[in-house]
């Protein structure tokens, strides 16, 4: 059984995308109950048991930094955000190595309905088991956020294009799926219609 005292888990909020499907407005700045969506996501992460939370921004980085700086521990700029999500994942790995984290939870900036308890469950499962990847599952559907242990950092850093860690988690025997009663893990906001459907 791993020793909880020796394992540090941090969170990386991925918030660098261009929101192309949302229109001219950056969806991450669109309000959810009067609060920018990305700040809702960050506050959920900060309220969890994660040791630290860092956000990676790119498109409209100044506005996003303003929305996030009072919430997260740090904001990092990814100047290569047009190259896809893999560049932000690479930044996340660099942050984890700099901070000597044992695991990263990648939190998507366009998923504001994830519950704090789900993040706590991901970390708790990692701390109390031999799993090196922990993935939430709702009603049989794989969701986000996802936790990756240190042994996957090198492979995550080698990803390219608009790829996250899906291929890694689907093909590794250390992956643990945990069932959650949190539909937020499968609800992302891509379009204005998505947002309207959730807030009306």
Rounded Cα gap, residues 78 and 76, in angstroms: 7
pLDDT at 68: 96
pTM: 0.91
Q: Which of 169, 176, 199, 175 is nearest to 187 (CA)?
A: 199
Q: Which residue has the tokens 């991925």?
A: 14
Rounded Cα gap, residues 71 and 198, in angstroms: 24
Give the chain's mean pLDDT.
89
Q: At what angle do helices 37-47 and 61-68 cross, to 10 degrees?
A: 40
Highest mean pLDDT among 137-141, 169-173, 189-193: 137-141
What is the DSSP track for 105-158?
A: EEEETT-TT--HHHHHHHHHHHHTSS-SEEEEEETTEE-S-EEEEGGGHHHHHT
pLDDT at 9: 98
**CATH class belonging to 7-199:** alpha beta
Burial of 51 per CB tally in 10 Å (0-12, 13-18, 19+)? middle
Mean pLDDT for the stretch of residues 168-176? 79
Q: Where are the domains of the chain?
A: 7-199
pLDDT at 112: 94
More confident residue, 158 or 66: 66
């Amino acid at each position: 059984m791993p020793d909880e005292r020796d394992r540090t888990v941090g969170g990386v909020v991925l918030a660098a995308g261009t929101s192309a499907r949302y229109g001219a407005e950056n969806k991450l700045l669109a309000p959810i109950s009067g609060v920018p969506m990305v700040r809702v996501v960050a506050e959920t992460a900060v309220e969890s048991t994660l040791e630290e939370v860092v956000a990676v921004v790119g498109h409209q980085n100044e506005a996003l930094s303003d929305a996030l700086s009072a919430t997260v521990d740090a904001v990092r700029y990814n100047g290569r955000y047009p190259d896809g999500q893999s560049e932000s994942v690479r930044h996340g790995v660099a942050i984890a190595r700099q901070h000597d984290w044992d695991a990263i939870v990648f939190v998507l900036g366009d998923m504001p309905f994830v519950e704090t308890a789900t993040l706590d469950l991901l970390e708790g499962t990692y701390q109390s088991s031999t799993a090196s990847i922990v993935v939430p599952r709702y009603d049989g559907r794989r969701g986000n956020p996802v936790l990756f242990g240190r042994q996957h950092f090198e492979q995550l850093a080698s990803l390219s294009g608009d790829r996250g860690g899906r291929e890694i988690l689907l093909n590794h025997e250390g992956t643990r799926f945990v069932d959650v009663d949190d539909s937020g893990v499968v609800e992302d906001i891509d379009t204005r219609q998505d947002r309207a459907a959730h807030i009306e």
